[in-house]
Structure formats: C-alpha cells, structure tokens
C-alpha cells in the first residue's frame, strides 16, 4: 500500500536521495538543468501560501517512493514540479495519484491553471500529465535540449470562454 501525504521535515533527506538517484540513473546528461536546492529545504521552497510538496510513502518500508510539488506562479497559476517515482515503484499508478493529489490541492486553493515545464527527456512525466488532461503549449529547442510546456485549465468556465474566442 502507498500513502500520499504532505511532506514532513523528516522526509527532506529521502526526497533528495530519491530525486538524485533518478536523475543520476536516467537523466545524467541533463542533471545540470535541474538544480536540487529547492528540495534540500522543502519548507523554505514550497511552504508559502498556495504551495505544497507531497510524497508517496511505501507503507511496508516507510520509504519515500514518489514526489510532486506545487509552486505558486501567481494568484491564478500554479506550477507542477518535482514529479518523480522510484523505478522500483513504477507502473503502480503512483505518479497518477501524485498528480491527482496535486491537482486537488490546486482546486482547493483556487488556481485556474496549472503549468508543467520540463525537457523532452522526461517522457514518463510528460505522458502522465497528458493522461491527466494537460495540453502541450510550447516546444522550444535550445541546442541539444528540448523544453516542453504543458498546461491544464482547472475552471470549466475558462474552457468555455477560450472556446468562444
């Protein structure tokens, strides 16, 4: 069983370890594009009003096996960040559950839209976001790096207004 909950101070080291291990194993060449300072002190980076950091914890081992964060962009827009799942726990819908929890939080806060920005190399995270209704808004090629920006409108009336424009 996996529990999705808000991150606690005691989770900080495990979060850094998980993200570093995934980056080293799967995205070593792009690791420089993803500085880790924000997760070294989660409370400072994600403790503001309208912000949150969630972890997926394996109930048997009590280990952090997944992460997702919400960062406030402005009063109507949030950024989905730090979507990671340990390789040992993939294909168990943990990533989808993490996104669901993050989006529930965004709705509770009152955000109208959520953005996810990443490189094309993080195809698993991109696929999960697309399955959750995110739509690609930008694809920028910067030499060997391809940046992808996805968004999801959370308010039904925003869809209706955009559809009429």
Domain residue spans of the chain: 2-164
Specify the CATH superfamily of domain 2-164: Gcn5-related N-acetyltransferase (GNAT) (3.40.630.30)
User: The whole model's pTM is what?
Assistant: 0.90
Tell me, what's the pLDDT at 115? 98
Cβ atoms within 10 A of the Cβ of 90, count?
13
Taking the chain (165 residues) in consecutive chunks of 10 residues, what is each chunk's mean pLDDT? 96 95 84 79 94 98 97 97 96 96 97 94 93 95 88 73 45
Neighbouring C-alpha atoms within 13 Å toward the C-beta of 149: 10
Task: Find, among 58, 114, 45, the residue nearest to 86 by Cα.
Answer: 58
Helices (H), the chain: 12-26, 37-40, 42-46, 94-109, 123-131, 156-164
């Amino acid at each position: 069983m996996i529990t999705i909950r808000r991150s606690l101070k005691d989770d900080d080291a495990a979060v850094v370890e998980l993200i570093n291990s995934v980056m080293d194993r799967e995205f070593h060449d792009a690791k420089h594009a993803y500085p880790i300072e924000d997760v070294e002190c989660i409370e400072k980076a994600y403790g503001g009003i309208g912000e949150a950091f969630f972890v997926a914890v394996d109930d048997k081992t009590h280990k952090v096996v997944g992460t997702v964060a919400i960062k406030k962009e402005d009063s109507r827009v949030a950024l989905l960040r730090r979507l990671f799942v340990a390789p040992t726990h993939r294909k168990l819908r943990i990533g989808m559950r993490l996104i669901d929890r993050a989006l529930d939080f965004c709705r509770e806060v009152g955000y109208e839209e959520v953005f996810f920005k990443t490189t094309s190399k993080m195809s698993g995270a991109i696929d999960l976001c697309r399955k959750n209704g995110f739509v690609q808004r930008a694809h920028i090629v910067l030499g060997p790096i391809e940046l992808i920006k996805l968004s999801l409108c959370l308010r039904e009336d925003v869809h209706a207004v955009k559809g009429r424009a």
